């Protein structure tokens, strides 16, 4: 498993004009920060399958051993009947997502940003849905237009890939990754 090296990103506006969904980019970076030492062992109460394996693969051995020891002890005390579905990393990412959704909504109030997003910006289906749930009704057509434009662009890109690759090629040229992000958001970001 490969987790990208995190960079300092304070706000969604810093990743808005990069390729792909800006919320996915922000949250992927946030996840990398958390996995590479951004959470103290006492902050991790439980882990989902993905984040347990991610910790095991990418973080300092001593730090992860402390985290896993704490989770093991907590689960032993809680017994088998307790609910262990509340991953501490997922919870932190969800919290960051809510903050960035609000930030993006504020940013979309600016007409130049809104127009740019309509014509060039990207949102994955998941984050577009989450954004739409929080957005005032006058922004719904903007969000829908972004999703429809990106979907159409990806369809064309995938059709071109199919024509070019034939039945024996394993090279998606990035199109498959872009389509996967659009359909379900960034890998490891649970919703």
CA distance 167 to 165: 6
| pLDDT band at residue 81 using 50, 70 and 90 as cut-offs | very low
Q: Which two tokens stand for residue 25?
A: 């980019």
Q: Read off the pLDDT of each residue in 31-56 and give the average, rounded to a whole number.
A: 89
- Residue written as tokens 């949102």? 123
Mean pLDDT of the chain: 86
For the chain, give every domain's residue range. Answer: 12-184
Letter string b/e over residues 79-103, b meaning 16 or more CB atoms within 10 A of that residue's CB: eeeeeeeebbbbebbeebbeebbeb
14 has a pLDDT exceeding 70: yes
In contact, 92 and 40? CB cutoff 8 Å? no
Q: What is the per-residue pLDDT across 126-179, written as a single tens digit (0 to 9) for each?
A: 999 999 999 999 999 999 999 999 999 999 999 988 887 665 556 666 888 889
Q: What is the per-residue pLDDT across 106-127, written as a single tens digit (0 to 9) for each?
A: 999 999 999 999 999 999 999 9
Specify the pLDDT at position 178.
87
Q: Read off the pLDDT of each residue in 44-48 and give the average, rounded to a whole number.
A: 91
Radius of gyration of the chain (CA): 19
């Amino acid at each position: 498993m490969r987790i990208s090296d995190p960079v300092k990103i304070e706000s969604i506006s810093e990743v808005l004009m990069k390729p792909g969904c800006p919320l996915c980019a922000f949250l992927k970076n946030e996840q990398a920060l958390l996995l590479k030492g951004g959470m103290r062992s006492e902050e991790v109460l439980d882990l989902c399958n993905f984040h347990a394996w991610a910790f095991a693969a990418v973080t300092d051995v001593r730090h992860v051993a402390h985290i896993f020891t704490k989770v093991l002890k907590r689960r032993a005390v809680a017994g088998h009947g307790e609910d262990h579905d509340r991953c501490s990393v997922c919870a932190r990412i969800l919290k960051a997502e809510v903050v960035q959704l609000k930030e993006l909504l504020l940013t979309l109030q600016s007409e130049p940003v809104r127009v740019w997003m309509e014509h060039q910006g990207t949102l994955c289906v998941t984050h577009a849905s989450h954004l739409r749930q929080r957005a005032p009704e006058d922004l719904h057509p903007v969000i829908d237009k972004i999703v429809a434009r990106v979907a159409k662009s990806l369809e064309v890109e995938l059709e071109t890939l199919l024509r070019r690759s034939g039945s024996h090629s394993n090279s998606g040229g990035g199109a498959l990754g872009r389509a996967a992000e659009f359909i379900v958001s960034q890998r490891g970001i649970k919703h």
